[in-house]
Structure 1
Amino acid sequence: MSTPIVDEAAKVLAEPAAYTDEPRLHAALSELRANTPVSYVDVPGYKPFWAVTKHADVLAVERNSKMFSNWPRPVLMSAESDEQQAAVGIRTLIHMDDPQHRVVRAVAADWFGPKAMRAMDLRITDLAKRYVDRMRDAGGECDFVQQVAVNYPLYVIMSLLGVPESDFPRMLKLTQELLGSDDEEYQRSAVSQEEKVGALLDMFAFFNDLTAARRATPTEDLASTIANARIDGEPLGDIDTVSYYAIIATAGHDTTSGTISGGMRALAENPDQLARLQADMSLLPQATEEMIRWVTPVKAFMRTATADTTVRGVPIAEGDSLLLSYISANRDEEAFDDPFRFDVGREPNKHVAFGFGIHFCLGAALARLEVNRFFAELIPRLTSVELAGEPELIATTFVGGLKHLPIRYSLR
């Protein structure tokens, strides 16, 4: 293999704090797309990887799931966290390749299909109204993330799983600690690396108890489906079962809350687009997709080459890791007209926020429904909105978005 191409700009992808500074992050990613779209990254604390930043290349890697495996490194974490999670034995859907992935994914697939979405629509619409009413009751000013955006999708996904409402605050805290382990506000400790997996172990303990309860007394919820699933006549192993819960609980909550809060910020900062949407609510499906592209709550996924290959002519060795930067792909000038413009009528909008190929997000339809129904309730009632303070983003390299969004508004 030839000497790897290295661009210093790519180091931001292994810097959680860089995701809290969007101008700096996007400047670096724009430089990479223009000059070094496949760049080698070797920074202290992380195992080396190739940064893939162009939309077309992300799609090409996602399409070729035999050449580019999810196992054993689906997410960018520190080398120490890689080792600790391997020791725990985590095996979620994002760790699996076909044929195992296809079979395990099928366990919960019906819960996120068209029939299930039709059945949930009324419930989600009712919840959207409830949380817009809470905005009204807050008196015209709130931290939109903490008072609205994190609670609405949490209620949806926990209800789907069958988790009692009394446990919702606990699950919110655990998901924030788990996905916000690089953020000082959410992490349990800035000192002990071992404590960074504490939230994961606590979540596993919670879902172990839930599994036991649903196996003893099955009910009509997703938790019962997972707890009592059988593959080739055998029940899912304990680790696989709780891993399934964990990925649904976290992915089904934080990604959607990030999109809703980021969408709210985009409307506040682009009043012309808010007015356009208010004048023509038929644009809401396109606006939903644009919010998802704009936020890109899942910042990146990783793949591992199963043989020597190339990406955009760059040699990649067997065993090398690749980081697929979704946030970069969704601002690619070759894939989107004026990609740094928030456009509620953008069409086409071939974003990769949900991934592509066999690992396309299982809960994409649910996320779209939640975002759509929330803004369908809010937009006609919203007469004004503006920022009431500085938005704050989560430090992360995986899933993230706003953690605080102070807004001032008036509602009908």
Structure 2
Amino acid sequence: MSTPTMDDAAKVLADPTAYADDARLHTALTHLRANNPVAWVDNPPYRPFWAITKHADIMAIERDNELFISEPRPLLSTAAADDYAKAQLDAGMGLRTLIHMDDPHHRKVRAIGSDWFRPKAMRDLKVRVDELAKRYVDQMRDMGPECDFVTDVAVQFPLYVIMSLLGLPEEDYGRMHMLTQEMFGGDDDEYKRGTTPEEQMAVLLDFFGYFAQLTAARREKPTGDLASAIANGRIDGEPMSEVDTMSYYVIVAAAGHDTTKDAISGGLHALIENPGELDRLRADPSLMGTAVEEMIRWSTPVKEFMRTATADTTVRGVDIAKGDSVYLAYVSGNRDEEIFDDPFRFDVGRDPNKHVAFGYGVHFCLGAALARMEMNSLFTELVSRWDSIELAGTPELSATTFVGGLKHLPIRYSLR
């Protein structure tokens, strides 16, 4: 096997603060794509891994889900957090969501909620989503002429949609959002509950405590919502395990709104920073579909997933040993010069747009259609009603190696 090549630029991938600094992150990723697209990263407190920064390599690894599997390291976390998570799972606790699983178990668990996100379900939901989009734009107008778009709108709209789909009471929405911030914001000073794995595990236990009560209620009396489908889900004729059941709720409730929040806020920021593209979209609303895809590419809420090689192999001529971890840098893949014409240009009409923001292959995002529909509804309402919009302060990105985006976007606007 070849000796791993060290490249200081790749260390940013194992530095949560780098994701709060677009210029720093993209400078490093541009260098890696050109000079070291399969880069060895050894940056404690994280265990070493190979950083995969080219779109084609990311896609190839995603496609080969037998050679590259999710377990035991589906995402980047510290060695201490990895060890603690494994110990918890060995003890029958911890988190094991769809992103942690491999086929055939992954496919069976995924099927429990998949009908809720199919095209027919989205068509049935669209009227309600359009109504909610109008409600939140009305609220935005009424609170004007300034707001923090992230906390006042981008969080609230998708949170309401996914909580309604689950069938949770509205008074619990705020609690779900707070726990989501603490879980995905474990590296961010504004959001994290603590610094140790035990303190961060407490967030998960709060989630589990809530959903354990919900499961008992939905098993006793199903109510025809997504929470009831999860509570009564069966694998090979047997009830889903408690770990898998609790974890299913967590991934739907948390990722089901937080990633969309990041794409919505990142999309609005891009429109403000590119007024020509905003004018183009206002003049031609038929571009909304491609505009939404471009917002998703531009913001890339899920920064990475990781896979582990099940056998010795090579990627772009670099030897990858059995048991080695590879880091799929979606942020880099979505700015790959070989795939995207002028990738650092925000283009509401970009077509084709082969972004990897939703992943690819068997782990393609379960809620992708819902996220697209929510964004289409909200921006259709927004673009048709604003007379002016500009920044009213400095946008702030969250520090994270996994899921994140803007945490504050102060804007000044006029809405009809």
TM-score for both structures, normalised by structure 2:
0.98
Taking the aligned partners of 1:186 and 1:250, their CA distance within structure 2 comes to 14
Separation (CA, whole Å) in 2 of partners of 1:34 and 1:139: 45
User: In structure 2, how many angstroms separate the alpha carbons of the residues matched to 1:223 and 1:262?
Assistant: 29
The whole-number CA distance in structure 1 between the counterparts of 2:253 and 2:88 is: 18
Q: Which amino acid aligns with 1:72?
A: P
Residue 149 (1) aligns with residue 154 (2): yes
Moved over 3 A (4+): none
Query: How far off is 1:82 after superposition?
Result: 1.1
Q: Distance in 2 between matches of 1:193 and 1:91?
A: 16
1:87 CA drift (Å):
2.4
Deviation string for 1:311-344 (max 9, x for gaps)? 0010000000000000000000001000000000
User: More displaced, 81-90 or 225-234?
Assistant: 81-90
> Residues 211 and 249 of structure 2 are in contact (CA less than 8 Å); yes or no, is this contact kept in structure 1?
yes
Looking at structure 1, the residues matched to 193 and 113 of structure 2 have their Cα atoms a distance apart, in angstroms, of 31
Aligned position for 1:312 = 316
Q: Which structure 1 residue ranges, 5 or more long, are not aligned?
A: none
**Structure 1 residue 17 corresponds to structure 2 residue 17:** yes
Q: Which residue in 1 is equivalent to 2:201?
A: 197
Q: Write the deviation string for residues 52-75 of structure 1: whole angstroms up to 9, x where unpaired.
A: 000000001001001000111111
Structure-1 separation of matches of 2:21 and 2:368:
27
In the alignment, what sits opposite 2:88? 88
Residue deviations 1:81-103, cap 9 Å, x none? 11222223221111111111111
User: In the alignment, what sits opposite 1:249?
Assistant: 253
In structure 2, give the amino acid aligned to 1:256.
T
Give me the identity figure in percent.
67
Distance 1:117 1:179 in 2: 26
Q: Secondary structure at the match of 1:301?
A: strand
Give the counterpart of 2:371 among 356, 367, 372: 367
Amino acid at match of 1:228: N
SS of residue in 1 equivalent to 2:26:
helix
For the residues of structure 2 that align with 1:275 and 1:198, how far apart are their CA atoms? 47
Q: Distance in 1 between matches of 2:359 and 2:236?
A: 28
Q: 2:119 aligns with which of 106, 111, 114?
A: 114
User: Any conservation in 1 of the 2:55–2:332 contact (CA below 8 Å)?
Assistant: yes
- State the distance in 1 between where 2:239 and 2:165 align: 21
CA offset digits 1:129-165 (Å, max 9, x no partner):
0110111001210000000001100001111111110
Q: Are positions 1:333 and 2:337 aligned together?
A: yes
Q: Secondary structure at the match of 1:395?
A: coil
Structure 1 residue 189: Cα displacement: 2.5
- Distance in 2 of aligned mates of 1:72 and 1:142: 42
Q: Of 271, 274, 298, which aligns to 1:294? A: 298
- Aligned counterparts of 1:242 and 1:294: Cα–Cα separation in 2: 32
> Equivalent residue of 2:261, what SS?
helix
Q: Distance in 1 between matches of 2:119 and 2:340?
A: 29
TM-superposed CA distance for 1:382, in Å, is 1.1
State the SS of the aligned residue for 1:124. helix
Q: Which residue of 2 aligns with 1:163?
A: 168
Deviation sequence 1:95-116 (CA, Å, 0-9, x none): 1111111111111100000111
Aligned-partner Cα distance in 1 for 2:176–2:191: 13
Question: Could you tell me which amino acid in structure 2 is paired with residue 357 of structure 1?
Answer: G
Look up the match of 2:353.
Answer: 349
Superposed CA deviations along residues 264-315 of structure 1, whole A, max 9, x for unmatched, are 1011111100000000000000000000000000000000000000000100
* CA deviation string 1:338-361 (max 9, x = no partner): 000000000110000000111110
Show the counterpart of 1:31.
31
- CA–CA distance in structure 2, aligned partners of residues 362 and 33 of structure 1: 29
| CA–CA distance in structure 1, aligned partners of residues 321 and 158 of structure 2 | 41
Q: Distance in 1 between matches of 2:377 and 2:87?
A: 41
Give the stretch that moved more between structures: 75-84 or 49-58.
75-84
Residues 131-140 or 284-293, more deviating: 131-140
Structure 2, unaligned stretches of length 5 or more?
90-94
Alignment of 1:205-220 (within 5 A): 205-220=209-224
Q: Which amino acid aligns with 2:231?
A: A
Letter of the structure 2 residue corresponding to residue 43 of structure 1 = N
Counterpart in the other structure of 1:380: 384
2:193 matches 1:188: yes
Query: For this pair of structures, how many residues does the alignment match?
Result: 411
Is 1:395 equivalent to 2:395 in the alignment? no
- What is the CA-CA distance between 1:402 and the residue it aligns to? 0.3
Matching of residues 268-283 of structure 1 within 5 Å: 268-283=272-287
Per-residue deviation, residues 150-202 of structure 1 (Å, max 9, x unmatched): 11000011111111101001001000000001000001124x44212221111
Question: Matched residues in 2 for 1:368 and 1:133: separation?
Answer: 21
Question: Match of 2:131?
Answer: 126
* Alpha-carbon separation, structure 2, partners of 1:80 and 1:138: 44
Q: Quick one: distance in 2 between partners of 1:199 and 1:123?
A: 31
Q: Which residue of 2 aligns with 1:323?
A: 327
The answer to whether structure 1 residue 72 and structure 2 residue 77 are counterparts is no
User: Which SS does the other structure have where 1:409 is aligned?
Assistant: strand
CA distance in 2, matches of 1:111, 1:296: 24
- In structure 2, give the amino acid aligned to 1:392: E
Q: What residue is the counterpart of 1:227 in the other structure?
A: 231
Paired position in structure 1 for 2:92: none
Give the partner amino acid of 2:34. Answer: A
**Which moves more between the two structures, 198-207 or 308-317?**
198-207
Aligned letter for 1:180?
G
Give the partner amino acid of 1:159: S
